[in-house]
Structure 1
Amino acid sequence: VSEQVLEQVLRELQPLCTSEQQFLQEFFQLGHDPAELQELEVSTASSPGPLSTPPSSLAHPWATPEEATFQLLSDIFSCLEPELRAFLDVCNKSQPLGCLQVLAILSDSVFGMWGSSSAPASSFLNALLGNVLLLAKSSFNKFIGTLCKEMEEAKTPSRTKGGILPCVSRFQDFLTFSEEVFRTSRRRGELDKAQLRLASSVFSSISSLSSANLKVNTDVVMMENFHHIHSFLCQKEIPCLEERKREAEQRCREHMEKYVTTCLGQPLEKLHHFFEGVKSRVAQGVKEEEISFQLAYSKQELRKILEKYPGKEVKRALETLYRKIHKDLSQEENLLPVVWQAMEQEFIRQYREFEELIQRCYVGSGIAMEFTLEDLLSYFSSITASH
């Protein structure tokens, strides 16, 4: 309601101040040029009447008629600016984002008036509303500064399970509301700067998450929150946040890869550690054909480990992994299919890497894994179809 009243006040101020300005200019002859005033003075002096002093004797100390008009209007409307400032304060406090609506209304009104040919460029009202607009910008920037600080300093609730963080929800709410308020506005410079500041604070808050306060993997929470930001930025299509949208997508991908890598060793943990050791020895300079002569990486040790992972055991381990991922991820983001597909692709890559290492380091041994790539694909398909 207060915003509607503000719009009404601004609509009525312009004709009021304009008509008063025109009256003053005509009554005190402030709009005439010097030649017209001299001619008017002569005609007035020669005409009979009680007025013996010509209008030009109403001399004013100002350098120009515009200054005279401005000063007279300032005296007449001396209470207008204090009253407007007080009313803006009421509007700002009427709701949490009241200062945003005030800024949008004033910006459109002021710049619309300045761009109008009906209002003099140096009019009293333009100067008045210019001052009030600066106040509105200051209040808005102060609000944004406080909001940024709250987001950056917000502590994650103890043992948070995950999902969308409060700072991300607040950021989304602000974007939704601000875009609606400025939907028809052509002046959004202050809003763009505010949105960029808030985006930086939100990204900083997500990046500073501590695993000590989370029940799930930190990468999961970061992945889901950056995914959420990317999703609603795609919906809003805000030009100034395009770079942040791409960054959110990249950060989501990075944390998904970290999470997948962390989970990857669990289904074939011992086999994973064995081949990590093989790769480490090769990296240290041990020749591939000599790996099998090292006690910890002999053919016998490899066969023992491979025997622990028959097809049934691998499928059972993958089912356990699926349940873990399902438990880690929140339902609201619905990232389970995406993460599971990434897990499948990485698992296939790892399988092929193990096969290649066996062929290179255990040449002619006849050693092979207990399950084939086709078996692995069928395990993933079966698990996906059953959930």
Structure 2
Amino acid sequence: MPNSEITDDDLSTLTRSGDKHLIAMGKVCVISLEGIATRFRKTWRAHQEEVFSHLEELLLRKMSATALYVRISDTTIMVTQPDTDPRIGQAICLNSLRQALAYFLEQYEDEDVIVHVVTRIENDSVLGDRLNPAAADEAASQAELSAADTTQRQTEFCLSDGRAARVSCTLEPLIQLKTGQKIGLRVNSRVMLTATGALLDAGERRSLSSRDKYLLDISAIARSIDRVQAEQAGDEVPILVVPIACSSITNQERAREIFDMLASMRLEVEHGILCELTDAEGASPVSAAAALTELKSHCMRVVVRGDTENPDYLPIAADRNISGVCYEAPKSLEGDVSFLHWIKPLLRGRRASTKGVLIFGLSGQRQVVLAAAAGATHASLATARSTA
């Protein structure tokens, strides 16, 4: 890679995010916009800020909050992703550049896809090896498989009380109620007892041990990645809503595995992951707030699942990291009167205290209309399709 000159301020930023340890692990990359600059020729200066800003926006959609980037020349930007598997981080850089090339150029060549993995920083120069896009894509795929490999075996497991159980998921269309547009998918996980085929209800799931909730979380993430890849046929999901138990994040070892899997999932999502924090009402406010802060650094937004039986009890609803509150619509609701009787008390006063109110698992378009009229901002439609 040709030497890239960097300023003292750039070096200060990179000292915080791109130390020798991260460089040795392959977590620091340089993306080149030379392919676009060459096509624009004399007008590059006029378009430079627009192109850089677009690339940075693409990167921010996929990277975790701990990632940093800095422009180091007129056509290059350095990216450091400390908390992401280097194979996945490199793929994020490649895919973001590909999207930028496709956006600004009618057609681009393979040689325009230029990303280097930094090998060392000497004085005021950055040195590195150019990525082979095909090899990097394959490495990222292997990283995703290895991240999901252990969880695939956990799709069937024994609950702490000895009962055999199986995890399955459905992907529900996510709708922005203001526009009526589908903006993504929501992962709805289910726990089925192997012996009887019975599904655990909400109360039974809340009573599961933290270990059982963790196995449910990682299984659901792995299964939903498989389904998204199969159903989207290479197209990215705009937004993906993923439920994660509060207790899974408060345990550091479990949290690291979940965050690694979320990094893999971000490759399949265009705008970002919205995490649905569950069981927050069962945690102490201090533990819940700490989990929320950590989770927010690995996803685009966080919403907290409220308790439909006690909607006024939401200890962390005012936390600055919360973007909204979500509720699961009971399957037993039949008719408009029954639905409105349930949702109106639930949403009364809620819009004033949160940025968004999401209602998941609606039975059809009629309930979507009623939810919007009641004051909800987003909703998902229940679907029978399963990842099992």
TM class, shorter-length:
under 0.3
Query: Max radius of gyration: which structure?
Result: 1
Q: Per residue, is there more helix in 1 or in 2?
A: 1
Q: Could you state the TM-score of these two structures normalised by the residue count of structure 1? A: 0.23
Higher share in strand: 2
**TM-score, length-scaled by structure 2:** 0.23
Higher relative contact order at CA 8 Å, sep ≥6: structure 1 or structure 2?
A: 2
